[in-house]
Amino acid sequence: MSILGPLLFAAMLVLPAWFASLDSSQEVRLAVLDPDGVFGNALVDTESIRFESMQGMDEAALRFGYRDMGYQAYLIPDGQEGVRVVSHSPVTMDVRNHVDHCLRGWLQQQFLASRQIEGLPEIIREMDGIRVKMTTVVVSDEGVERESSSEMTMLLSVVFSMMVYLFVMIYGAQVMRGVMEEKTSRIVEVIVSSVRPFELMMGKIVGIALVALTQVGIWIVLTALLVSSLGLVAGSGAISSSGVPAQVEMVTELQGSGAFEAQMAAVVAKVDWGSMGWSVAAFVYFFLGGYLLYAGLFAAVGSAIDAETDSQQFVLPIMIPLILSIYVAMSAYRDPMGDLAFWFSMIPFTSPVVMMARFPFQIPLWEIVLSMGVLAVSFVGMTWFAGRVYRTGILMYGKKVSYREMWRWFREAGR
């Protein structure tokens, strides 16, 4: 997984581009039957769509033969401003949109021409050239201005919160499976005759945390390496601009591969490496805090059940706050200062994910510190709770466990 993970990550970023480039190699040929020249020269070929005029043929013959001639569909004028696209199988959206685009432009031109306004084409050309120049600037309390990149902020927000969510889930479940394995293989009784049950549980949790950190580290480094090396390839044109990940909406608007690289370079240039360092530190804290909180729960559940199949009823309630937090995080990307985002970044069960979604937006320090504090207190409490359930659970076999039963273990463990 440690090697495969980054590969998958990089693939997720790059594959769509590759697929897009594959598609364009497939050419679509369309026959055009326009004896009266209604379309003028409005229909322009693209890389993937080619129009061919069928002058002198009659429609019946074309309808009968267009497929044998290698056309996917044929076009004929339909009334004043219409066109009919005829085919046996429906044409793609790409074809539809392109035909629509060409003809609309043509019709608009004709419409304007019919009004006979002096110098209109020049006016329109000039109007098309108007662009808004926008710079987003972040001001610190000391009044220092710094150019920011809202794209980069958004990207960090999405990536960090997603990573916390994924890793807490993956490694939390791993704790549960580990505890369960020790219980079902009965090795646990030998081990707890040498070490305290709490030590065994903490050993498992801390051990997996270290594995997780190592793996996260490898992932981050390898993903960065892979993406940047692929980024270089992109410069040679193998990857077109359409190939950016769908979830990173901001980049999709860019057109032309040269512009994409330039824009990327601009975004990277605007990265504040200092705050990036803080983001990574916060990520490590919230990931570990969230992991420790949930690992305790997962360990308690793992100790209570005899078989993986029994885990469902206990795992679902654990997953619900995690899943909820990713939904809240999605709204926090857009409104990081909103009440929803604020409160859910304080509640310890959702704060790791939601806080990481808010963090890149430079929220007030006290909020971060408070959230960290609440999380720390919670995971200590959770570990204590889990330790007591665990102590009884691991030696309990063949019993159908309920929440009530677990609560009883917790209470009685104190005696």
Partner 1 sequence: MDFLEIAQVTKQYGSYKALDSVSITVCENQIYGLLGPNGAGKTTLIRIINQITRPDMGEVRLQGKPMTRDDISLVGYLPEERGLYKKMKVGEQALYLAQLKGMSRRDALRELKFWFEKFEIQPWWDKKVEELSKGMQQKVQFVTTVLHRPRLLIFDEPFSGFDPINANLLKNEIQELKHQGATILFSTHHMASVEELCDDIALMNRSQVILSGGVDEIRRQYQSGRMRLTYSGDVDLASVLPLGCSLLSDAPSRQLRVAEIQSANGLDVNAMLRVLLPVMSIHGVHEVLPSMNEIFIRLVKQSGE
Min. distance of Cβ 194 from partner 1 in angstroms? 4
Min. distance of Cβ 411 from partner 1 in angstroms? 11
Write out the E strands in 23-149.
Answer: 28-32, 49-53, 73-77, 83-86, 137-139, 145-147
The SS3 assignment for 8 reads helix
| Residue 167 in tokens | 């890793």
CB 318 within 8 A of CB 294: yes
From 192, 164, 414, 170, select the one nearest 303 (Cα to Cα): 192
Dist CA 137 CA 79 (whole Å): 54
Alpha helices, H only, 66-149: 93-115, 120-128
The nearer residue to partner 1, 98 or 183, going by C-beta atoms, is 183
Dist CA 34 CA 28 (whole Å): 19
The nearer residue to partner 1, 115 or 404, going by C-beta atoms, is 404
Min. distance of Cβ 354 from partner 1 in angstroms? 37
What angle is formed at CA 96 by the lines to CA 15 and CA 45, rounded to 5 degrees? 80
Min. distance of Cβ 237 from partner 1 in angstroms? 48
Min. distance of Cβ 185 from partner 1 in angstroms? 4
Min. distance of Cβ 243 from partner 1 in angstroms? 41
Min. distance of Cβ 70 from partner 1 in angstroms? 60
The nearer residue to partner 1, 83 or 401, going by C-beta atoms, is 401
Dist CA 389 CA 404 (whole Å): 11
What angle is formed at CA 30 by the lines to CA 24 and CA 34, rounded to 5 degrees? 145
The nearer residue to partner 1, 291 or 409, going by C-beta atoms, is 409
Strands lying side by side in the sheet with 83-86: 49-53, 28-32, 73-77, 83-86
The nearer residue to partner 1, 187 or 233, going by C-beta atoms, is 187
The nearer residue to partner 1, 2 or 229, going by C-beta atoms, is 2
Dist CA 331 CA 339 (whole Å): 11
The nearer residue to partner 1, 179 or 239, going by C-beta atoms, is 179
Interface residue list for partner 1 (CB under 8 A): 181-182, 184-187, 189-197, 395, 397, 408, 412, 415
Min. distance of Cβ 355 from partner 1 in angstroms? 37
CB 303 within 8 A of CB 334: no
The nearer residue to partner 1, 191 or 324, going by C-beta atoms, is 191
